[in-house]
Amino acid sequence: MWGGRYAEGPSAIMREINASIGFDRKLWRQDIRGSLAHARMLAATGIISAEDLAAIEGGLAAIAAEIEAGRFPFDEALEDIHLNIEARLTERIGEAGKRLHTARSRNDQVATDFRLWVRDAIDGLAAQIEDCMRAFLEVAERHTATLMPGFTHMQPAQPTTLGHHMLAYVEMLSRDLGRFRDARVRLNECPLGAAALCGTGFPIDRHMTAAELGFDGPTRNSLDSVAARDFALEFLSAAAICASHLSRFAEELVLWTSPAYGFVRLGDGLTTGSSIMPQKRNPDAAELVRAKTGRITGALVGLLMVMKGLALTYAKDMQEDKEGVFDAAASLSLCLAATAAMLRDMRPDVDRMAAAAGAGFSTATDLADWLVRELKLPFREAHHITGRLVAKAESLGCDLAGLTLAQMQEVEPRITRAVYDVLTPAASVASRRSFGGTAPENVAAMVRFWRERLG
């Protein structure tokens, strides 16, 4: 490639550190697609002949078939996917292959290929996110009124329902989906034609190549075209946030499947045993979803560190932009698939969850609200009275509903027997009908809402 300038070839160390073909071969589909669009534009503008175009199209189709069949001779000495394909093309079709690189550089070529790859990855992950949302919805629909404890600080707080809990993750994933779709809009500009950094003197038609590749238009500044990797950073940021949501659910599954909780059970296909303890059923799929979040977040931080000190425009540092993105996309895809599978496999223990829903004086807020509604007390005073009643129940070893009316009236004489109507977890849940609240009728309505949106 550098024969006109360099008398000697690179050293073995230089070849090793410089080559990217070991990982950027993943871009081969995008590279061929971009080259086809570029060649057609060159022919349409009269820069190459129709005969050259036909030869290039035929040669690239044959190369695609070779790669698909696993017969392509990847060569590390040719550094990257771009030179590997171009060299093979020239080998196949001769001089016409050498004309393909007219009016472009590897700088705009890789920027285009990478945008195409990230765009394809977003489309695939978006479909998986929607499937995962449907898996959460399936559980929510079956368990709109299934009682379970709601937690703050990992302590029982108020009763909720499993359906409402599942819908929280639907909301999180919907925002993840929005972030990926927003990122796709911003990346959907075509750098091809920016050449090395300053554009080209050839009469190219960048709008034509952009349209053929499905971009909204060409990038507007040639320097930014080859220097920008914020589209990859935004992709990684969306991936890291999405992974953190999946990790939170994975952590809950790890807790819920433990004997101490016993809220749900996962089948044999998504758990593992122990080499020494025959009783074990380990939630390894959930644990690995939790762990892979570190890889995805690490990829984001890694690329931020690569890009933070680079003056315009292209620098070889930017070769480090791809491995983390490839790995993060694959890891997130696997996490989404595993999460959807666990949701469809898990079997909630409804009785165990319902029993736990009333633990820890979880209806205390309902008692305080009753004092405000029925006795017209200021909330802070009602809060204080409820706290004294909780202390009394705790000292007697019972829950709030276990206190006698006389015992309650020792703290607040105006309390009536009607208070017992709000002291069950089911009553607590049913009362929370404010928009977004946990009442079963709300949960059912929200399931319908998301079913309609997801189609």
Q: Catalytic site residues?
A: 153, 274
DSSP letters along 313-370, please?
A: S--GGGGGGHHHHHHHHHHHHHHHHHHHHHHHH-EE-HHHHHHHHTGGGTTHHHHHHH
Asked if residue 88 lies in contact with residue 56, where contact means CB atoms within 8 angstroms, the answer is no
Query: What single DSSP character describes residue 272?
Result: B
Tokens of 348: 């909630």
Tokens of 86: 């171009």
Asked if residue 240 lies in contact with residue 330, where contact means CB atoms within 8 angstroms, the answer is no
Asked if residue 108 lies in contact with residue 33, where contact means CB atoms within 8 angstroms, the answer is no
Phi first, then psi, for residue 152 (nearest 5°) are -130, 145
State the burial class of residue 252 (Cβ atoms within 10 Å of its Cβ: 0-12, 13-18, 19+): middle
Asked if residue 236 lies in contact with residue 299, where contact means CB atoms within 8 angstroms, the answer is yes
Asked if residue 115 lies in contact with residue 231, where contact means CB atoms within 8 angstroms, the answer is yes
Q: Determine which helix (DSSP H) or strand (DSSP E) holds 189, and give its type and residue range.
A: strand 189-190
Q: For residue 447, give the nearest of 198, 109, 136 by alpha carbon.
A: 136
Tokens of 394: 């705790």
